[in-house]
Amino acid sequence: MAELVRRKLGNTGMETTCLGLGCASFGGGSSSDQDTIEGVRRAIELGMDYVDTAPLYGESERRVGLALEGGWRDKIYLQTKMGMYANGSRDYSGAATRSSVENSLRLLKTDYLDAVLIHEPEKFEDAYDRGLALDELLKMKEEGLLRHIGTGTRSHEQHRRAIETGHIEIILTYLDYTLASQTVADTTLPLAKERGVGIILASILGMGALAGPKPDTDRHGRVALAMWEWCREHDVNIRHLAMQFGLGAPIDGIVMAGPSNKQQVEDAYEAATADIDPETWRAFKADFGVGL
């Protein structure tokens, strides 16, 4: 069985496999307690040792907690978030931050978290001003409840400002480094590299646009459809291309898959360990300007 390459996550000191496990889909109606238990444990068996979840993701934290019982927690790095919640609310106050992290610890059945991310504040000041989320997370870090602090947001400007605080060790960015769009390559990625901040590339399959099924142009755009049609014509698995492109990003970090069951975990592992013929990349890049 092919092994996943190990990577440094910036200057955190964490060394993890190149493919992490995002657990958003495990929290919704397309998954179940059993799907999550089987999926998370299969991912760990295959070498995925970085697990990400969040209160926003419905049942995800509770289900992941079930999956990690019986010694599985000790095999992984465990990350959650705070600030956005499944009922649609946002709260980045110091009190809400502590309450959120404590609740996550309870649901995940652990006494510490390897990382906690500030999740998608609408404005930078909402979470980073004095006495708010960042300050409280720094206190909890000193108390040993968490080991690293990061942010998970799409805003490149917030990435920059978060990095410049000197306290943010991890940036989770999504949808902006895929086969179809690489806007983060000119903003966050070089700054993170310079400052030793770890990068997690999420939604590497474009929230389904590059996963295999025919993309919907209204939802995913014409570029994804054109790439999908090219792959069909050339007998290439677009999921393999998309995953390998992400793994080739110039980062000190990892790619995050987002399965909802055991089979999708295995599909993600297959994509991450696939061999792509260099000629395939040359032909794809000639037509789309994107490749390795």
- Label residue 146 exposed, middle or buried (CB < 10 Å: 0-12, 13-18, 19+): buried
Asked if residue 142 lies in contact with residue 98, where contact means CB atoms within 8 angstroms, the answer is no
CA separation, residue 86 to residues 24, 83, 145, 193, 276 (Å): 11, 10, 23, 33, 39
Q: Provide the CA 124 distance to its chain's centre, in angstroms.
A: 20
Type of residue at 62:
R
Tell which CATH architecture fits domain 6-288. Alpha-Beta Barrel (3.20)
- Specify the pTM: 0.95
- Domain ranges in the chain? 6-288
Measuring CA to CA, which residue among 279, 185, 192, 257 is closest to residue 19? 257
Helices 133-142 and 94-108, axial angle in degrees (round to 10) = 50
Q: What is the pLDDT of residues 121-149, one digit of tens each?
A: 999 999 999 999 999 999 999 999 999 99
pLDDT-derived band at 1 (thresholds 50, 70, 90) equals low
Interior angle at CA 134, CA 254 and CA 259, nearest 5: 30
Please give the average per-residue pLDDT across 73-88, as a whole number.
97
3-state SS, residue 131: coil
Please give the average per-residue pLDDT across 190-209, as a whole number.
94
Please give the average per-residue pLDDT across 219-241, as a whole number.
91
